[in-house]
């Protein structure tokens, strides 16, 4: 199972997937590359340390007046994804929405992690949304990507109790290692089904 990761920043979920594959925790999986839209993403260094091929498609080059020309950007991106022949594409902190063409090219093959218990708190600042809503449980979700924002079939979820004095920062920090475990569990599940 050829796994390709897309990440835009820190890359801790990417690092967790990479470590799990190196440690053969997802026995059939091979990590075939990291694709990023951000040439300054720390994820790049993580990939290079393990000799994982890195492809940068800098979305900054496709902006006019600050607005991304998604069609042109994705025209450039799609053949780069295809060249890596992925069976699964893992969005791991990838900050751009994928367009229709890419989503349709890889049906039920693109996974994403979101820091809330979907279907609650879709979109940006999910942890902040949870605190503002006053819920007592938070968590994270790994799901397949479809045309709806954070809307595809749920593969795996984990929960975390929100503390009395929780802040957005503390919740995000406590959730992160849980995200890493959840992503690996989701990949194990998908790998088992696809073997
Ligand atoms: C994570 O919280 C993930 O759930 C969200 O973006 C963040 C990425 O963090 N989609 P990292 O780059 O994987 O450390």
**C-alpha angle 123/19/7, rounded to 5°?**
30
Q: What is the pTM of this model?
A: 0.96
Q: Read out DSSP for 15-60?
A: HHHHHHHHTTSSTT-EEEEEEES-TT-HHHHHHHHTT--EEE--GG
Ligand 1 site, residue 70, Cβ cutoff 6 A: no
pLDDT score of 50: 98
Q: Is 93 in the pocket of ligand 1 (CB under 6 A)?
A: yes
Is the CB of 115 within 6 Å of ligand 1? yes
Q: Residues 175, 141: contact at Cβ < 8 Å?
A: no
pLDDT, tens digit (0-9, with 9 covering 90-100), for 53-89? 999 999 999 999 989 999 999 999 999 999 999 999 9
Mutate which of 110, 169, 179, 181 for ligand 1? The one with the most ligand atoms within 8 Å of its CB, which is: 179
Catalytically annotated residues: 114
pLDDT band at 195; cut points 50, 70, 90: confident
């Amino acid at each position: 199972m050829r796994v390709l990761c897309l990440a835009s920043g820190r890359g801790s979920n990417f690092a967790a997937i990479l470590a799990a594959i190196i440690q053969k925790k997802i026995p059939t999986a091979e990590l075939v590359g990291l694709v990023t839209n951000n040439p300054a993403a720390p994820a790049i260094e993580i990939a290079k340390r393990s000799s994982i091929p890195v492809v940068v498609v800098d979305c900054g080059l496709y902006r006019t007046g600050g607005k991304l020309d998604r069609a042109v950007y994705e025209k450039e991106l799609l053949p780069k994804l295809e060249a890596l022949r992925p069976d699964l594409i893992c969005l791991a902190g990838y900050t751009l929405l994928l367009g229709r063409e890419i989503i349709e090219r890889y049906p039920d093959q693109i996974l994403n992690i979101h820091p809330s218990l979907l279907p609650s708190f879709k979109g940006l600042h999910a942890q902040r949304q949870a605190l503002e809503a006053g819920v007592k449980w938070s968590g994270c979700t790994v799901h397949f990507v479809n045309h709806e924002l954070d809307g595809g079939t749920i593969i795996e979820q984990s929960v975390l109790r929100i503390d009395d004095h929780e802040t957005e920062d503390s919740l995000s920090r406590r959730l992160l290692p849980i995200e890493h475990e959840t992503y690996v569990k989701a990949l194990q599940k998908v790998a088992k089904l696809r073997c």
